Amino acid sequence: MRRQRGFTLIELMVGSAVTFLTVLAVSAAFIGYTQSFYTQAGIRGGQASLRQTHLMVVRNLRMAGYGMEPPLAFGFPDDWSRESLKAVNRSDRLVFRMRNPAFNAFASGVSSTSITLSNPLPELLRKGQIIQVMCPGALAWTYAQLSMDAPKGDTSLNLEAADGKFPRLNAFTPSCFGSGAGGLGVYVFKIDVYDYSIRLIDEDGNPGTPDRPYLFRRHGLNEGDPVDSFGEPVAEDIEAMRVSFLRGDGSMFVPTKYDDLAHPAPDYSTPLDDALRGNNNPANIRAVVVGLVARSTTRDTGAGPELMNQIPAFGRKLSGTNVVLEGPLTKDGSGKPLPHGFRRVVSEMSVQLRNMRSSEMPVPVYTLDSTTPGACKGVLPKDDFNCAGG
């Protein structure tokens, strides 16, 4: 009789060990691949956010100063400083203004407290909206700020009281402001404000964990209301921003306020070789260097607290008369350590500002044609004039 033979205990143990090691190796490779996939996906997400953010900011920044005197093109709030205690990741705010090229309104009467429009408003204007009022041929112009909302269809704008400073100038004394009564002579333009800064938002409701960073834009509207001040996040995971200003000769400087008596502003007729073209007035800004740091959209679970727990050094800073590189940052604006495990991407772009070289106030030509269907909406008016302030 033939004897039937099976596996011995040792053979079973060796086979089980080999199988276990094989499964363990495959599992480790799969986990590593999955972790690498999500890490790379997070990096790509951060890169995409950085790229889109830079394109958005640069596209808007190129229009800075359009339709305005160069000294008023940029704003410098009191907390505009890399050393400001209110700054997030010691970030600068980037505040600039431009005339909206698509807004069309005319005034039939003006006073220091209100403006009467020739036609109903084509859109809602919010409290705090800056407007530019201009005489025919740009003989004179001034600025004012709305004291309350003006709904679409309204024919009057209520103004904040004049205080002698931009934007509450309300200087309607030249006689040319009265020449538009009953006609289309006095232009009313809308000034858009782009106020970019880094904000931290507590998404998980846990005060002990780091907040998520966003690039935030405000519009300069209803600024006195801390709750309803009309701003919104425009890009997620932007951790830091650096802004540097350059003169026409390429030298870096820290601009003063537009009305700083120690650095008076050049006007349209100031010669190019005049000393006023080289002082620290914001009218002399010719380029802006915008640096951004974006983090990955997902955390690298394999990274410990000691790894990548800082924003990399980037950007330039004026220290005395020298331009120096800035060091890395290890805390956010709330004093919490930066969250570890995130990959970070740095980008820096230089933006030339052609509107800051303006030699005269631009006066757009408005269409007088109201008979062409769709005029100012892609259909050329019969008189070939422009449709708005562009």
Residue 3 lies in a domain: no
CA dist 123 and 186 (Å) reads 19
Task: Give, in order, the Cα–Cα distances in Å from 148 to each of 100, 125, 158, 189, 269.
Answer: 20, 9, 6, 17, 36
DSSP secondary structure string for all residues of 66-86? TTS-GGGSEE--TT-STT-TT
Please check whether residue 369 lies inside any domain of the structure.
no
Q: Is the pLDDT of residue 339 over 90?
A: no
How far apart CA 130 and CA 112 sit, in angstroms, is 14
Mean pLDDT of the chain: 81
Q: Is the pLDDT of residue 346 over 90?
A: no
- Expressed as residue numbers, the domain containing 305 is 50-357
Question: Looking at the domain assignment, is residue 197 inside a domain?
Answer: yes
213, 200 contact by CB (below 8 A) = yes
Asked whether residue 32 is assigned to any structural domain, the reply reads no
Q: Is residue 279 classed as helix, strand or coil in its secondary structure?
A: coil
User: Residue 139 has what pLDDT?
Assistant: 85
Query: What is the C-alpha to C-alpha distance for residues 10 and 48, in angstroms, rounded to an integer?
Result: 56
pLDDT at residue 78 tops 90: no
- State how far the Cα of 257 lies from the Cα of 251, in Å rounded to an integer: 19
User: Does residue 82 register a pLDDT over 50?
Assistant: yes
6: in domain: no
| Residue with the two structure tokens 């690498």 | 36
User: Is 45 part of a structural domain of the chain?
Assistant: no
Residue 207: C-alpha distances to residues 140, 198, 201, 203 (Å): 53, 18, 11, 10
Residue 237, sorted as left (phi over 0), alpha (psi -120 to 50) or beta, turns out to be: left
Tokens representing 246 are 């350059």
Q: What is the pLDDT of residues 222-265, one digit of tens each?
A: 766 655 567 888 998 888 888 889 999 989 888 988 988 999 99
Helix then strand then coil, in percent of the chain rounded to 5, is 20, 30, 50
What pLDDT does residue 142 have? 95
Report the first-to-last Cα separation within the chain, whole angstroms. 105
- In this predicted model, what pLDDT tens digit does every residue of 94-137 receive, in sequence order? 999 999 988 878 888 899 999 999 889 989 999 999 999 998 87
Query: Is pLDDT above 90 for 305?
Result: no
Distances (CA, A) of 204 to 21, 102, 301: 40, 40, 18
> Given this model, what pLDDT does residue 183 score?
47
At 181, the pLDDT band (50, 70, 90 cuts) reads: very low
Report if residue 11 sits inside a domain: no
pLDDT at 347: 87
Q: Per the domain annotation, does 381 fall within a domain?
A: no
Examine the pLDDT at 333 and tell me if it is beyond 90.
no
**Can you give the pLDDT at residue 5?**
65
38 SS3 class: helix
Q: Which position has the token pair 């480790």?
A: 28
What is the total count of domains within the chain?
Answer: 1
